[in-house]
Chain A
């Protein structure tokens, strides 16, 4: 079965902290994505990656960076967390062989205090 694993289900961090959200997929997918989901705003794309060490900005990249050192792992980094980054973060992966459908992790609910 396809599996996308996000390292934490819930995280509480303080303003100014550096935060790492980890995502691992076991399907050998080329493409990986980070979205954030907020009530009333739906899902918004932060960053995506189509290959190791490659990254592309999504619609709301400000305040975030990403790292993809290995094909299976895609990390989202909040360099200096702020309260407006409190959100549900969703990681997903896909592959042309699946018709580009996305497989999602269970999400990380991040609270920045």
Chain B
């Protein structure tokens, strides 16, 4: 079952612009994570935000979390062509031995030089 859903499905911007991707989910979470995937490769972890946090920064990335709306956003500032990739949000469920992450379908970001 798909827990997180990213929006938009695809986003095309010019280099230097900001890119915003959104994620909505359905059930309570402990944390929400964002991952990046370059074409045909594995995913790379970008940032984790806990349910008691509202905003987190890492370099050019800014993530917000609104648990009342069950939504999160990922902002990439001053985008570069190298940021072209698919971006996924992932929400957790279970704990201990049952811990697992459920991923959305992703947002394909294209940054044009």
Residues of A within 8 A of B (CB): 4, 31, 33, 35, 40-45, 48, 50-51, 54, 56, 58-59, 88, 90, 92, 94, 96, 99-107, 109
Contact = CB atoms under 8 A, between A and B. Distances in A.
Contact of A50 (B33, B97, B104): B97
Interface string B67-100: 0000000000000000000001010100011111
A58 B1 CA distance: 9
Interface size class of chain B, counting residues whose CB lies under 8 Å from the partner chain: 20 to 34
Interface of B: 1-2, 31, 33, 35, 40-45, 48, 88, 90, 92, 96-106
Contacts, number: 67
A47 to B, nearest CB: 10
A40 B2 CA distance: 12
Contact of B100 (A58, A88, A104, A109): A58
B98 A42 contact: no
